[in-house]
Amino acid sequence: MQRLLTTGLAKTADLWPAITHAYAWVQRAAQLLNTAEGHDVLLVRKDYRALLSEMRHEQAALGDLAWGVAHFRKVTRSYWPGLFRCYTTAGLPRTNNALEQCFGSARYHERRATGRNGASPAMVIRGQVRLLALVVTRATPLSNDALRPADIEQWRTLRAELDDRQETRRVQLRFRRDATTYLTDLEERLLKSSLPA
């Protein structure tokens, strides 16, 4: 084992300075994001942009590992619109792990309540409402006033969307139960609507 480690270190010795340099950049990026809470987000963005610019200008010095810096910058660019949102939105988890834990907890409680291993049809149809209700009520208990819709038109629109989803599921169920009867009925309605009155 010692011989394998020694051989491996000897063969990769010329890569270690580049790895150390790139790792220092990653540590600075992590430090910027960890200390951003409570600081001016615009200044943190500016510092993070300066770091990305420094990485771009100096990535050629990394030799064979320059592709890693290019990949890091590309991924950062794709996440940029939402990268700092957790610092400006109260209660939004900073990491994907915290967000996944929240969703995992919701899945766990849904499975316990329904007895199903997979997602229940109710979660598929009304997921956007149920998940939001679960997350909000776990954070703070709601009063009667908080449950009352503030915007009735928005509430009606949401109810209509949920009813449309429910109807789509009903139609799928009817089709799966008896496809021939469903298609015959659909064909008759289509022919009636296309015939002149």
Q: Which of 73, 88, 103 is the last residue of a domain?
A: 88
Distance separating alpha carbons of residues 104 and 128, to the nearest angstrom: 15
Final residue before a domain boundary, out of 41, 69, 88? 88
**pLDDT attached to residue 101:** 79
Q: Residue 102's domain spans which residues?
A: 94-148
Residue 8: its pLDDT value, please?
Answer: 84
| CA neighbor of 137 nearest in space, from 95, 109, 158, 96 | 109
**CA 144 and chain centroid, separation:** 31
Contact 77, 71 (CB under 8 A): no
The pLDDT assigned to 52 comes to: 92
Helix, strand and coil content of the chain, in percent to the nearest 5, comes to 85, 0, 15
Considering only CA atoms, give the Rg of the chain: 27
Q: Is the same domain home to 29 and 81?
A: yes
Q: How many domains does the chain have?
A: 3
Q: Are residues 28 and 53 in the same domain?
A: yes
Question: Do both 162 and 99 map to the same domain?
Answer: no
User: Quick one: pLDDT at residue 149?
Assistant: 80
> What is the C-alpha separation between 74 and 76, in angstroms, rounded?
5
Instruction: Please check whether residues 25 and 70 belong to one and the same domain.
Output: yes
Is 36 exposed, middle or buried (CB count within 10 Å of its CB: 0-12, 13-18, 19+)?
Answer: buried
Is 177 found in the same domain as 115? no
In tens digits, the chain (197 residues) has pLDDT values of: 888 888 888 888 888 888 888 889 999 998 888 876 667 888 888 999 999 999 999 988 888 888 988 999 999 999 888 888 878 877 777 777 777 877 787 778 777 777 777 766 666 666 667 777 777 776 677 777 777 888 889 889 988 888 888 888 888 888 888 889 888 888 888 888 766 65
d(CA 102, CA 98): 6
Please indicate, yes or no, whether residues 26 and 60 belong to a single structural domain of this protein: yes
Contacts of 109 (CB under 8 A, 6+ apart): 134
**Domain identity same for 8 and 82:** yes
Query: Residue 73 phi/psi, 5° resolution?
Result: -65, -40
- Nearest to 141, CA basis, from 131, 151, 149, 133: 133
Is residue 126 within a helix (H) or strand (E), and if so which, with residue range?
A: helix 121-139
Kindly report the pTM of this predicted structure: 0.53
